[in-house]
């Protein structure tokens, strides 16, 4: 395994890193097979012409955890983030070949919790598919990492993320405030079986698919912060 300090430095400075060849082709095929076999009747499943998604993915498809959270993957996560990190959210996204789903530049500013409560510094509550989301104190977002496991080759033509390097260091940074004379855009191409790690405060977007290729991604968020005593993470999975 490569020196994880190199990855950590790039994430600290730029807000993201891509690492290929984390999962083999056969491992990816096993993951996709389990997804195809999953019961899609639960409320955590969403299927439309433009998107198929599974929220609380590791809980809904528990066999997936054995494939993804193997010893090598956990060593990588602990090496980059620290041994005190745990999973707080997992989602599977399938952006179909004909999808015209476009996502403009934004930061990921909310977390999933078990209930709603009136608490200082927790704001902008929403409920989606019986899941409570809230914008937490900035320190929680700053100590969160997102790992995106790519199940297809992904490039600019099938919705690879576009990011603004370093934007995670500017706090809450609205898309309308982007100064393109001082900012640059980077397309995060990732090969099948590779991963992208990013900070949720990194400004990112994705374009429409133009090459009729799938872009299937497993999105997993990790954090080491405890919430206010009245709240719990909606989905907490320890890696020990």
For residue 85, tell me if it sits in a domain: yes
For residue 240, tell me if it sits in a domain: no
Number of domains into which the chain is organized: 1
Instruction: Kindly report each contact of residues 43-47 with a partner whose C-beta sits within 8 Å and lies 24 or more positions away, as own/partner.
Output: 43/129, 43/130, 44/129, 44/131, 46/129
Alpha carbon distance 51, 48 (integer Å) = 5
- Give residue 59's domain range: 4-223
For residue 233, tell me if it sits in a domain: no
Answer whether residue 199 shows pLDDT above 90.
yes
| Tokens encoding 137 | 């104190």
Q: How many residues does the chain have?
A: 240
Stretch among 5-9, 57-61, 106-110, 131-135 having the lowest mean pLDDT: 57-61
Stretch among 26-30, 47-51, 73-77 having the lowest mean pLDDT: 47-51
pLDDT band of 53, cuts 50, 70, 90:
confident
For range 116-126, the mean pLDDT: 96
pLDDT at 150 (0 to 100): 97
For residue 105, tell me if it sits in a domain: yes
pLDDT at 158 (0 to 100): 85
pLDDT at 46 (0 to 100): 61
For residue 67, tell me if it sits in a domain: yes
pLDDT at 210 (0 to 100): 74
Alpha carbon distance 52, 47 (integer Å) = 4
For residue 79, tell me if it sits in a domain: yes
Could you please report the per-residue DSSP string of the chain? Answer: ---HHHHHHHHHHHSEEEE--SS-HHHHHHHHHHHHHS-TTSTTEEE-SS-EEEESHHHHSTHHHHHHS-HHHHHHHHHHT-TT-EEEEEEEEEE-TT----EEEE----EEESS----TT-EEEEEETTEEEEE--HHHHHTEEEEEEESS-B-GGGT-EEE-TTGGGGSS--GGG--TTT---EE--B-TT-EEEE-TTS-EEEPPP-SS--EEEEEEEEE-----TT--BSS-B---
For residue 234, tell me if it sits in a domain: no
| Tokens encoding 84 | 């005190």
For residue 230, tell me if it sits in a domain: no
CATH number reported for the structural domain that contains residue 78 in this entry? 2.60.120.620
pLDDT band of 96, cuts 50, 70, 90:
low
């Amino acid at each position: 395994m490569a020196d994880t300090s190199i990855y950590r430095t790039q994430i600290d400075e730029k807000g993201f890193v891509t690492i290929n060849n984390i999962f083999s082709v056969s491992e990816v095929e096993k993951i996709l097979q389990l997804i195809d076999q999953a019961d899609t009747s639960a409320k955590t499943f969403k299927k439309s012409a433009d998107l198929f998604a599974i929220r609380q993915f590791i809980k809904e498809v528990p066999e997936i955890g054995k494939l993804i959270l193997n010893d090598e993957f956990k060593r990588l996560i602990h090496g980059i983030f620290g041994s005190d990190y745990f999973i707080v959210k997992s989602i599977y996204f399938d952006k179909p070949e004909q999808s015209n789903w476009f996502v403009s530049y934004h930061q990921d500013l909310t977390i999933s919790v078990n209930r709603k409560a009136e608490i200082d510094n927790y704001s902008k509550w929403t409920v989606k598919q019986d899941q409570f989301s809230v914008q937490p104190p900035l320190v929680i977002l700053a100590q969160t990492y997102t790992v995106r496991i790519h199940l297809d080759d992904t490039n600019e033509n099938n919705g690879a993320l576009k990011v603004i390097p370093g934007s995670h260091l500017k706090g809450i940074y609205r898309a309308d405030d982007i100064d393109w004379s001082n900012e640059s855009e980077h397309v995060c191409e990732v090969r099948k079986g590779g991963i992208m790690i990013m900070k949720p405060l990194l400004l990112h977007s994705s374009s429409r698919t133009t090459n009729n290729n799938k872009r299937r991604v497993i999105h997993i968020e990790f954090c080491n912060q405890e919430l206010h005593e009245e709240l719990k993470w909606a989905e907490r999975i320890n890696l020990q």
